[in-house]
Structure 1
């Protein structure tokens, strides 16, 4: 896909203003091709067509609990997404929202469809079942004129796309193994993300993790010394690679370690793609992320790269649902 020339900045909104939402605002600040104009959380939204100031919005959120308190551009609302969509000009949104319950992202997508808004949506969904729910909305998204790119974070996302590219060396893919290491100094900066990880632990599920109080999460992390170790996760990398024709989902495995008390990664994040070449040789490609790149950098950067790609698709009249394994992200300058 030829990179479109950006004549005026893409107006971008961020829905959800927890750890990822705040990181997204910081990622957008130096970008000339994108202008951050909208943000929303449970209690309100902020909108400025000339661009929001990330420091001011983050300060407002930390001090008063919502971006809706921002002066003079904040509005308190219990229907923040609906109100923001009503009459604000935004080209695309990054859905930095916790997918708790597991139907939440599909519910948000339906809200966009019903609103009559047309533009680009990008999410960083994790679970296979959540992506399956979005697949059921393909026709509705297309008819609504919405270009939706799903699974566009780190994994699924960056590592899934790397696997799709690396697979080209082979005639047959035997396995795709994704292993991630995440280090954060304080779990409370990423409450929703940590709860989603807990939901993958044995004896836990989405509803259990969602219902946990902060005190209960802290008590669990005390028992594990701050470590969350995960194996054979329900991760949408599998369905994305299957949809892209790379391999069947049963050949894809995802697991990793999250250290909630140390910003250093407990292990290097990587994807290993093993297959057979046309000469009959068995080999493995390994793509490893630099340990210095944070979870936020590896999620938000690709998300906006895919949002830019989504804008290019929409300008060509292409709407509907796409995944990170189908579309190349475009670097946002």
Structure 2
């Protein structure tokens, strides 16, 4: 509630509006369960179902992969779905809720009642996520979309769709994983200490026991290496990826990546994109992180002091936890905006995520 001591400072219409908003948000968080869909059912999509399983405010009801989709309005079972996908190669085989389809996203949108989708999709080719967004716009669906996009150029494509998303009644949250996402948001908050931000340096460490559990993610990482492109990485067979990883002893060292943290911080007015750098090390054969993931924000305070804030993620948190957790936090924040009639494109550096209970 608004402090009674402040009432005499505020015009009556503003007081009423604020009280209504607070009541709406309170009702939203305590009474309404969000029905969530997941597009893409590889390693990230499967991890997302496990993140959602204990949540009370979100229910996983829908999923789609290349060959089919599944929908149950009261909720799907992660263990059964993951087992079915592992044994038969598509969630479309999930009995009795699955359907095989060559147009799984389109068919799911026509069938399911879903408040918001996490797009746990590989952005290979680089135009893929924008193409998926266009599919949602054309379908007439209204709701919240969240992605964990990596590349600056992919976010730039979505920016071109901003007006179309707004007109379609879609609230789209982009770059809402770990980086871009969690670390970008941390940089945006830490920047408040400074009069001027000189640099934002993001360094990540990822450890996974088996690269095949995150095939699309690893291919996207390979695409950032010298001598590779998105198209070249996408065209690599599993055997070719395996042979390449043998050459590197399973380690991928990434520097000066094309990461959307830069455009997101620029759009938020924190600093120009040329002051943002992203890199890291991925160990595809060991679940232990090769180094601690962190973001360093260096700037000058109003007193003229140069200082650096460092925000470090705990080594025990996995890539899946640091991507899926924030994604659903932003999905909840997006739902709050959507229910208030606020549509269009937003980034993780503009909106604070809401914790999903």
Give the TM-score taking structure 2 as reference length.
0.93
The structure 1 residue matched to 2:293, chosen from 265, 269, 275, is 269
Q: Where do 1:1-333 residues align within 5 Å?
A: 3=25, 4-333=28-357
Deviations 1:254-307 (A, max 9, x none): 000000000000000000000000000000000000000000000000000000
Alpha-carbon distance in structure 1 between the residues aligned to 2:31 and 2:135: 30
Separation (CA, whole Å) in 1 of partners of 2:58 and 2:76: 12
Partners of 1:127 and 1:198 lie apart in 2 by 13
Q: CA deviation at 1:160?
A: 0.1
Which of the two has greater helix per residue? 2
1:188-235 C-alpha deviation (Å, 9 max, x unpaired): 000000000000000001000000000000000000000000000000
Give the 4+ runs in structure 1 shifted more than 6 A. Answer: none
What is the rounded CA distance, in whole Å, between the counterparts of 1:171 and 1:6 in structure 2?
A: 39
TM-aligned CA deviation for residue 8 of structure 1: 2.5
Residue by residue over 1:110-135, the C-alpha shift from the partner in whole angstroms, topping out at 9 and shown as x without a partner, is 00000000000000000000000000
Q: Distance in 1 between matches of 2:220 and 2:332?
A: 27
Give 1:74 deviation, angstroms.
Answer: 0.3
**Bigger Rg, structure 1 or 2:** 2
Aligned length: 333
Matches of 2:122 and 2:330, distance apart in 1:
19
Whole-Å separation in 1 of the counterparts to 2:246 and 2:29: 51
The separation in 1 between residues aligned to 2:239 and 2:84, in whole angstroms, is 25
Structure 1: distance between partners of 2:43 and 2:94: 18
Q: Give the superposition deviation at 1:5.
A: 2.3
Cα drift, residue 87 of structure 1: 2.8
Following superposition, the deviation at residue 178 of structure 1 comes to 0.1
CA offset at residue 6 of structure 1? 3.6
How big is the shift at 1:7? 1.1
Counterpart-to-counterpart distance in 1, 2:68 and 2:137: 21
State the alpha-carbon separation in 2 of the partners of residues 41 and 28 from structure 1.
Answer: 18
Q: 1: CA distance between counterparts of 2:224 and 2:29? A: 42
Separation in 1, partners of 2:162, 2:311: 31
Shift of 1:9: 1.1
| Secondary structure of the structure 1 residue equivalent to 2:220 | helix
**Alpha-carbon distance in 2 for matches of 1:60, 1:283:** 52
Structure 2 unaligned regions, length at least 5: 1-20
Distance in 1 between the 2:268 and 2:221 partners?
26
Distance in 1, matches of 2:127 and 2:236, equals: 18
Residue 60 of structure 2 aligns to a residue whose secondary structure is: strand
What is the Cα deviation at residue 64 of structure 1? 0.3
Compute the RMSD of aligned alpha carbons.
0.8
- SS of the residue corresponding to residue 140 of structure 1 reads helix
